[in-house]
């Protein structure tokens, strides 16, 4: 059994959640915040048998797309201003960051 941890942009979370349900995969959604952009993310915890991992990865890939977005930088309140960029920059957002871990034991009560 594997635990898939997928961190996706909030804009993709409802679409991914619906697609997982359509494919009969259950997931737990957690609100999270990214460190670089300090923007909202959703982290999905998905437990599946080993033979379903590739199918879940395809569902994630089909529903979490990257896009370019202009982002206004956060001012460095009390921090180091050497790396502060005072104008909006275009960055790539979206997609998914996925971790796959072996589950040693699974219990459901």
Which parts of the chain fold into alpha helices (H)?
Answer: 10-22, 53-63
For residue 55, pLDDT over 70 is answered with: yes
For residue 39, pLDDT over 70 is answered with: no
**Coil, strand or helix at 38:** coil
Identify whether the C-beta of residue 4 lies closer than 8 Å to the C-beta of residue 56. yes
As a whole number of angstroms, the distance between CA 73 and CA 37 comes to: 8
The pLDDT of residue 32: 86
Joined tokens for residue 55: 């199918």
The CATH classification of domain 2-72+87-102, taken from the options 3.30.70.120, 1.10.287.3510, 3.40.50.720, 3.40.50.620 = 3.30.70.120
Full-model pTM = 0.76
């Amino acid at each position: 059994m594997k635990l898939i941890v997928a961190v996706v942009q909030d804009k993709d979370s409802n679409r991914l959640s619906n697609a997982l349900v359509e494919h009969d995969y259950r997931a737990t959604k957690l609100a999270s915040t990214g460190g670089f952009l300090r923007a909202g993310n959703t982290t999905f915890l998905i437990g599946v048998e080993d033979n379903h991992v590739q199918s879940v990865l395809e569902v994630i890939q089909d529903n979490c797309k990257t896009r370019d977005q202009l982002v206004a930088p956060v001012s460095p309140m009390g921090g180091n201003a050497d790396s502060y960029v005072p104008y909006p920059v275009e960055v790539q957002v979206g997609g998914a960051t996925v971790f796959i871990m072996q589950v040693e034991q699974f219990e459901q009560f």
